[in-house]
Structure 1
Amino acid sequence: MKRRHLLGATAAGLAATAWPGFLRDAFGDGAACDEKGKPSAAQGSVVQVSAAFRRARQAKRALLVFVIPADDAAKWERGQAFGELLNFGADRDLAPLAGVEVVCATMADLKKLVPGAGDGEPLLVLVRTDKVPVAAAQLDVALPRYDGMRGVVTGSWEERQKHDDRIAAQRIGALGALLRQGLGAEADNVAARAASVRARLVKAPPAGAHWAVASGCGTDIEGIDDSGLMACGMGHVPSKSRRFLYFFAIEGRGESPR
């Protein structure tokens, strides 16, 4: 038995030496850096996912990836949905996030580290960091959209606001149910766990994104001086969507999301 265990450990060690540098770094078995200790240029933005994977593994947590779509319009839509959840989700919606490390990343970047992450652009990918090869599961749900109903909503501003709030509640509810289904719905210490999530992901953004605020005629990125982006023509922004996760590089600064 001991001999078989030793052979298995040796084989795993040999396999690890064949992994790309960023993967060895994520598992804590090497450093994906150049001789000066800086991330190697070949890594690209995958270094963000690698760092989050390493944090998750060291904390014995799973890694939850908020998937950034490739399409720019979809970036706005999904960033708003995640913003609604994090800023306005109930305790039971947010509590499941207390037990995972969160990072925002494109599927292209994620699959450089986790080839088995699957196809498409689901809302979330859950990565189990305690297994080799790494196991991943996609979490996805269709979210109600504001645009589909806006043209048929009539009445006063207050009535339109109530309509927006109903759609937001549906979106938050769908994401909360998805998290409980995928991450578990423990009944203990729900309020305390939700408070820890707000402290970790609402006061500051998850890795791979910035918090931003949109008024419908411009966007301000939190923590970035002179970041106002004029976007007149965006039109109405539902109140619960105004603070959202910004998934774009900041033009003129060469700065990618954290």
Structure 2
Amino acid sequence: MKRRHLLGATAAGLAATAWPAFIRDAFGDGAACDEQGKPAAAAGSVAQVSAAFRRARQASRALLVFVIPADDGAKWERGHALGELLNFGADADLAPLAGVEVVCATMADLKKLVPSAGNGEPLMVVVRTDKVPVAATQLDVALPSYDRMGRLATGSWEERLKGDETIAAQRIAALGALLRKGLGADAHNVEARAASVRARLVKAPPSGARWATASGCGVDVEGAEDSGIIGCGMGHVPSKSRRFLYFFSVDGRGASSR
């Protein structure tokens, strides 16, 4: 009866049995089982997406996935951009996140649960957990890049720092506009909603990522034992990029293992 209440029709309930196992589990029909009737185990970030999907559905929220790129260089770039948004975004930029469950995952892992997530590696994917079948919408925008190694730098150091601030503001504004477009721009209680986002996603990272702090010669991963990762030659790190979402796994010694 619980499934019929959710889906609204017996036919829809029967269709749900054809969904991937993790989706059936996320929709609250008990632990998904394999062909032998044993519980099917989710692993890695697939399990994190499944758990986040379940939390979103139980709270009657959409699921917002911050997409982790496959390329290591792109992981750094995207993690820094999202860190800028979460740490320095204005209330209007962050408030849309108050109404969604947030998780970080690769497109490959997301598509194991939500085949309709689409192709490519957009910045974000919105998954509407109240739809049957599950509906997914990609959110993407081109972001300006920093000249981190100073190859194109001209003028004084102060002028370069000012340029960094301009690029950071442009990136944050673009991401905030993307969230308002994709999630809605409700003007109600913006300050309070933004405060709830900072408490939930800035003090602690979203599921599937770690917070880390970068200098020009290393990275410290928050909450990881002996997390100092040496990376001399990384070059200049703009001030608003220093605390960022770290999309690599970390072993007990703090070393990157992905």
TM-score under structure 2 length normalisation: 0.89
Match of 2:182 in 1: 182
Q: Deviations over 1:158-183 (max 9, x none)?
A: 22111101000000000000001111
**8 Å contact 1:21–1:30 — kept in the other structure?**
no
Q: Matched residues in 1 for 2:128 and 2:8: separation?
A: 21
Please name the residue that 2:45 is paired with: 45
Q: Distance in 2 between matches of 1:73 and 1:127?
A: 26
Give 5+ residue unaligned stretches, structure 1.
none
Render the CA deviation track for 1:110-148: whole Å, top value 9, x for unaligned.
Answer: 101110001000001011000110001111000000129
Question: Match of 2:241, as an amino acid?
Answer: S
Equivalence for 1:118: 118
Contact 2:224 2:250 in 1 (8 A): no
Contact 1:22-1:43 at 8 Å conserved across structures: no
Matches of 1:134 and 1:176, distance apart in 2: 25
State the secondary structure of the residue aligned to 1:211.
strand
Provide the rounded CA distance (Å) in 2 between the counterparts of 1:183 and 1:90: 16
Distance 2:237 2:92 in 1: 26
| Aligned equivalents of 1:235, 1:178: Cα separation in 2 | 29
Work out the CA distance in 2 between the residues paired with 1:209 and 1:45: 10
The 1:74–1:153 alpha-carbon spacing in structure 2 relative to 1, beyond 3 Å, is same
C-alpha distance in structure 1 between counterparts of 2:221 and 2:8, whole Å: 50
Q: Cα deviations across residues 197-244 of structure 1 (Å, max 9, x unaligned)?
A: 000000000000000000111100001120100000111111100100
Provide the rounded CA distance (Å) in 1 between the counterparts of 2:158 and 2:185. Answer: 35
1:119 and 1:151 map into 2 onto residues whose CA distance is: 33
The letter for the 2-side match of 1:56 is A
Which residue is equivalent to 2:85?
85
- CA–CA distance in 1 between the matches of 2:140 and 2:147? 20
For residues 16 and 128 of structure 1, do their structure 2 counterparts lie closer, same or farther at Cα, with a shift above 3 Å needed? same
Q: Is the 8 A contact 1:92 1:176 kept in 2?
A: yes
What percent of counterpart residues are identical? 82
* 1:1-258 mapped onto 2 (5 Å cutoff): 9-32=9-32, 40-41=40-41, 43-147=43-147, 150-251=150-251
Distance 1:29 1:83, change over 3 A: same
Contact map agreement 1:63 1:102 (CA 8 A) in 2: yes
- Report if the CA contact (8 A) 2:20-2:112 is conserved: no
Change (3 A) 1:243 1:123: same
- Normalised by the length of structure 1, the TM-score is 0.89
Instruction: Give the whole-Å Cα distance in 1 for the aligned partners of 2:182 and 2:200.
Output: 20
1:248 to 1:40, Cα distance in 2 relative to 1, 3 A: farther
Provide the C-alpha distance between the structure 1 equivalents of 2:237 and 2:255, rounded to a whole number of angstroms: 25
Structure 2, unmatched stretches of 5+, are none
Tell me by how many angstroms 1:18 deviates: 3.2
Moved more, 50-59 or 147-156: 147-156
Aligned partner of residue 160 in structure 2, secondary structure = helix
**CA RMSD of superposed structures (Å):** 2.5
Equivalent pair of 1:214/1:237 in contact (CA under 8 Å): yes
CA contact (8 A) 2:217 2:230 kept: yes
- Please give the alpha-carbon distance, in whole angstroms, between the structure 2 residues aligned to 1:208 and 1:178: 21
Tell me how far apart the structure 2 counterparts of residues 10 and 170 of structure 1 sit (CA, whole Å). 49
